[in-house]
Amino acid sequence: MRTILYIIQKEFLQVFRNKSMLPIIFFVPIFQLIILVNAATYEMKHIRVSVVDLDLSGISRKLVSKFQGSPFYRIQSTSFSYREAEDQMKRGNIDMILQVPAGFEKKLLKEGHAKVQFVINAINGQSAGLINAYSTMILLDYNREMVMENTTPLMMAGIKSIQTDYSYWYNPKLNYKTYMVPGILVLLVTIVGLLLSGMNIVREMEIGTIEQINVTPINKIQFIAGKLIPFWIIGLFELAFGLTVGKLLFNIPMEGSLALIFLSAAVYLFVILSFGLLISTITHTQQQAMLVSFFFMVVFILMSGLFTSIESMPVWAQNLDRLNPVMYFIRIMRMVLLKGSGFADISRHFWALVIYAVCSLSLAILRYRKVS
Amino acid sequence: MPGTSVHVQQLTKRFGATTALEDITFDVGKGELFGFIGPDGAGKTTLLRILTTLLLADTGRCTVEGFDVVKDYRRIRSISGYMPGKFSLYQDLTVEENLKFFATIFGTTISENYHLVREIYQQIEPFKNRKAGKLSGGMKQKLALSCAMIHKPDVLFLDEPTTGVDAVSRLEFWEMLQRLKAAGITILVSTPYMDEASQCDRVALMQNGRIMTISTPREVIRNYPLSLLSVKAGDIYQLLGELRKYPGVHSVYAFGQSAHVAFQKTKLDKDTLSGFLKKNNHAVVEIEPIEATIEDCFMELMNTPRE
């Protein structure tokens, strides 16, 4: 025990003596939170529209002004040639073309229905879907107004309209920042855990100090404990620091119990640290360890549900994702922080992490060899 | 001799197709200063790594202080000190922190065994708050030796401790080893420097994974079967070529500024050779009979075909 404590003490001494370490611990979280949270937003603002109004009637102008009045749209240009608008889109200057055909007003008033065209740049399918949804909403709204204006109250009585009111639960203002912060914090803990722990052991191999350690009576468990515990502590500290920054800068909600968050983080960090340890047993240089860690990190993070929703993945990918520890922890973080879920609600994810931690840690310990 | 400290029997180690060690057998007595001498790639490091339980041999048996290197590796780790060829202390820790770290993980303290390392450590103590990475080569060696000694080992394994160290520090280092030996510690040391052989009680001359001979340095020299002449001349390169062709010459090697000519006593003498060189217009500066050094013996053993 005394030996483990002393190795931990030595590890901390080295960590804090490393000049690049303190900036990593303190600035990386702030930077990641500020940059990623503000940048990685799904909200569509300033959709650039080119209007091709071939009708130029009162009704068509009303429709255009409806778009103009929305905060999501910005009329970039107007022209009378569809081709011109299409050129603009090819150049990437606009996101959407709104075309009102000639005779729109006449047709609408005479026949009671008419068509307009949205042409949306769908290179990014997700944002194209959003633009389409927003535009349809505006059009529906416009439709309703048109019906109101052009019908007599008597006729109105015959029209039964169903109105839908929305209320968004757990994130009433649909604030993407509160949704992103918990995920970014997981990212942070993962990077610190995986990179620092794996690299640290490989570094000892690279500079040869492991040779000197191996001839001492320190046993495997003591060595591994002495190596992992410091980064476990640093990882938990990072989380606490990140949560504080998130609260101060973005005022993220903390509905659930923080104790539950840290309990899950403690288990999760064991999973990540044993991954780092495993990587260090199959690599020989820090460079190799870095590359292997990155491979795992990219796969884990992209499939974690941080940016895209897991439910929309194909079934095989969802099944594969059961092996993704990052996914479990992101879910726990979001559930506890945003919804205020209790232990019973997250228990499935929590036990998955526990099983994962036990398996990966024992595998890493088995794989680690002092003798070559 | 009061008993065996290290016992090695028919040890073999292969790395893929290359044989690092082949059929190595030797014993080192308690309190002996035993040297492994040979060029790079002779297998010295592999042998020491097997003895310090860092590497497993393919076949053969080794014991250190009666403990088997495979079965009782834990016991060996607590009674032996090892100083690898590459400096492997923590460069970002200070001199004192390194020493304290190794004392603690061996379950002891600096003050408990200070008397053992005092003479060595005192020389680097003025720099005890300096990071180990910032020390000079000689000071690094002293620190590494202190760290290998701090738990009062019975056996000390030193892998090329004087490589890359200046001549004065090398001499000092050997003096320290002599003092440790006087304190009763068994020392196994490897070195590529032939001139350090005379410091050892016994030496094993190694080449290509084999031990060519084991005996005291004096005996190695006494067993040298040839006579030697040292020849100094202006153009040493041309001289070597011509000497090699001269009948009766067994072998010729360049030793710094001079050439060592080995020959059998019956076949050649100094006057004949100097006459030959004069006839060939060599500006012979000096030609004189010399005693063989370990290096001469090594060269001769290297060339002797194994039975």
Instruction: Please name the residues in contact with B42: beta carbons below 8 A apart, sequence gap of 6 or more.
Output: B36, B206, B207, B208, B209
Q: Give me the pLDDT at residue B1, please.
A: 47
Q: What tens digit of pLDDT does each residue of A43-87 get?
A: 667 888 999 988 888 888 888 888 888 888 888 888 888 888 888
Beta strands in A132-183 (DSSP E): none
Nearest CA in chain A to B149: A216
Q: Give me the pLDDT at residue A269, please.
A: 94
Q: Which of A129, A158, A187 is the endpoint of a domain?
A: A158
- What is the spatial distance between Cα A68 and Cα A75, in angstroms, rounded to a whole number? 6
- What is the spatial distance between Cα A279 and Cα A294, in angstroms, rounded to a whole number? 11
Among the listed ranges A154-158, A170-174, B23-27, B236-240, which one has the minimum average pLDDT value? A154-158
Given a cut of 90, whether residue B121 has pLDDT beyond it is no
Given a cut of 60, whether residue B149 has pLDDT beyond it is yes
A76 and A139, same domain (yes or no): yes
A215 and A340, same domain (yes or no): yes
Given a cut of 90, whether residue B34 has pLDDT beyond it is yes
Chain B interface disruption, residue of A19, A212, A221, most B CBs within 10 A? A212
Percent of chain A past pLDDT 70, that is, above it, reads 91
Domain that holds residue B261: 225-291
- What is the spatial distance between Cα A95 and Cα B109, in angstroms, rounded to a whole number? 72
Asked whether residue B65 is domain-assigned, the answer is yes
Given a cut of 70, whether residue B102 has pLDDT beyond it is yes
A58 and A30, same domain (yes or no): no
B89 and B193, same domain (yes or no): yes
Q: What is the DSSP string of B111-129?
A: TTTHHHHHHHHHHHGGGTT
Q: Which two tokens stand for residue B141?
A: 């060696």
Higher pLDDT, A189 or B241: A189
Domain that holds residue A245: 2-40+175-367
Tell me the chain A residues in contact with residue B90 when contact means C-beta distances shorter than 8 Å: 10, 14, 209
The tally of domains found in chain A comes to: 2
Band of residue A35 on the pLDDT scale cut at 50, 70, 90: confident
Nearest Cα to A241, choosing from A21, A26, A37?
A26
Q: Which of A90, A123, A158 is the endpoint of a domain?
A: A158
Q: What tens digit of pLDDT does each residue of B173-221 get?
A: 898 899 889 888 999 999 988 888 888 999 998 988 889 889 898 888 8
Pairing of strands A73-79, A47-53: parallel
Q: Is B130 on the interface with A (CB under 8 A)?
A: no
Q: Crossing angle, helix A21-39 and helix A176-207, to 10 degrees?
A: 150
Cβ(B162)–Cβ(B173) under 8 Å? Answer: yes
Asked whether residue A170 is domain-assigned, the answer is no
From the CA of B92, how many Å to the nearest CA of chain A? 7
Q: In what order do the strands lie in the sheet with A47-53?
A: A73-79, A47-53, A96-100, A117-120
Average pLDDT, stretch A283-288? 87
B15 and B100, same domain (yes or no): yes
B79 and B131, same domain (yes or no): yes
Asked whether residue B185 is domain-assigned, the answer is yes
A151 and A230, same domain (yes or no): no
- What is the spatial distance between Cα A173 and Cα A296, in angstroms, rounded to a whole number? 34
Q: Give me the pLDDT at residue B186, please.
A: 94
ipTM of this complex: 0.74
B45 and B193, same domain (yes or no): yes
B106 and B161, same domain (yes or no): yes
Q: Give me the pLDDT at residue A372, please.
A: 47
Band of residue B278 on the pLDDT scale cut at 50, 70, 90: confident
Percent of chain B past pLDDT 70, that is, above it, reads 97
How many beta carbons lie within 10 A of that of residue B166, not counting itself? 12
B8 and B97, same domain (yes or no): yes
Higher pLDDT, B188 or A252: B188
Tell me the chain B residues in contact with residue A207 when contact means C-beta distances shorter than 8 Å: 88, 91
User: Would the CB atoms of B90 and A209 count as touching at under 8 Å?
Assistant: yes
Q: What is the DSSP string of A54-113?
A: SS--HHHHHHHHHHHHSTTEEEEEEES-HHHHHHHHHTTS-SEEEEE-TTHHHHHHHHS-
**A124 three-class SS:** coil
Asked whether residue B303 is domain-assigned, the answer is no
Q: Give me the pLDDT at residue B98, please.
A: 92
Q: Give me the pLDDT at residue B35, please.
A: 93
Nearest CA in chain A to B54: A371
Band of residue A165 on the pLDDT scale cut at 50, 70, 90: low
B99 and B116, same domain (yes or no): yes
Given a cut of 90, whether residue B157 has pLDDT beyond it is yes
Average pLDDT, stretch B9-32? 90
Nearest CA in chain A to B15: A372
Q: Sort residue A92 into left (φ over 0), alpha (ψ -120 to 50) or beta.
A: left
The segment with the largest mean pLDDT, out of A148-152, B105-109, B253-257, is B105-109
A129 and A23, same domain (yes or no): no
Please state the separation of Cα B233 from the chain's center in Å: 31
Average pLDDT, stretch A331-352? 91
Q: Which two tokens stand for residue A195?
A: 């990179």
Nearest CA in chain B to A19: B92
- What is the spatial distance between Cα B66 and Cα B47, in angstroms, rounded to a whole number? 17
Given a cut of 60, whether residue A144 has pLDDT beyond it is yes
The tally of domains found in chain B comes to: 2
* Least CB–CB distance from A17: residue in B53, B81, B92: B92
Q: Which of A97, A124, A158 is the endpoint of a domain?
A: A158
Q: Give me the pLDDT at residue B274, please.
A: 78
Band of residue A273 on the pLDDT scale cut at 50, 70, 90: very high
B101 and B24, same domain (yes or no): yes
- What is the spatial distance between Cα B161 and Cα A323, in angstroms, rounded to a whole number? 49
Asked whether residue B237 is domain-assigned, the answer is yes
Tell me the chain B residues in contact with residue A6 when contact means C-beta distances shorter than 8 Å: 101, 104-105
Q: Give me the pLDDT at residue A122, please.
A: 84
Asked whether residue B129 is domain-assigned, the answer is yes
Q: Give me the pLDDT at residue A359, please.
A: 93
Q: Give me the pLDDT at residue A353, please.
A: 94
A109 and A248, same domain (yes or no): no
Q: Which helix (H) or strand (E) holds A209?
A: helix A209-214
Beta strands in chain A (DSSP E): 47-53, 73-79, 96-100, 117-120
A336 and A299, same domain (yes or no): yes
Average model confidence (pLDDT) for chain A? Answer: 84
- What is the spatial distance between Cα A360 and Cα A365, in angstroms, rounded to a whole number? 9
User: Would the CB atoms of B93 and A371 count as touching at under 8 Å?
Assistant: no
B215 and B230, same domain (yes or no): no
Q: Which of B196, B221, B246 is the endpoint of a domain?
A: B221
A56 and A31, same domain (yes or no): no
Nearest CA in chain B to A215: B77
User: Would the CB atoms of B90 and A218 count as touching at under 8 Å?
Assistant: no
Given a cut of 70, whether residue A300 has pLDDT beyond it is yes
Average pLDDT, stretch A137-160? 70
Average model confidence (pLDDT) for chain B? Answer: 86
Q: What is the DSSP string of chain B?
A: ---EEEEEEEEEEEETTEEEEEEEEEEEETT-EEEEE--TTSSHHHHHHHHTTSS--SEEEEEETTEETTTTHHHHHHHEEEE-SS--S-TTSBHHHHHHHHHHHTT--TTTTHHHHHHHHHHHGGGTTSBGGGS-HHHHHHHHHHHHHTT--SEEEEESTTTT--HHHHHHHHHHHHHHHHTT-EEEEEES-GGGGGGSSEEEEEETTEEEEEE-HHHHHHT--SEEEEEEES-HHHHHHHHHHSTTEEEEEEETTEEEEEE-TTT--HHHHHHHHHHTT--EEEEEEEPPPHHHHHHHHHHSPP-
Asked whether residue B296 is domain-assigned, the answer is no
Q: Is B154 on the interface with A (CB under 8 A)?
A: no
Average pLDDT, stretch A79-103? 88
Asked whether residue B301 is domain-assigned, the answer is no
Cβ(A126)–Cβ(A87) under 8 Å? Answer: no
Average pLDDT, stretch A169-192? 80
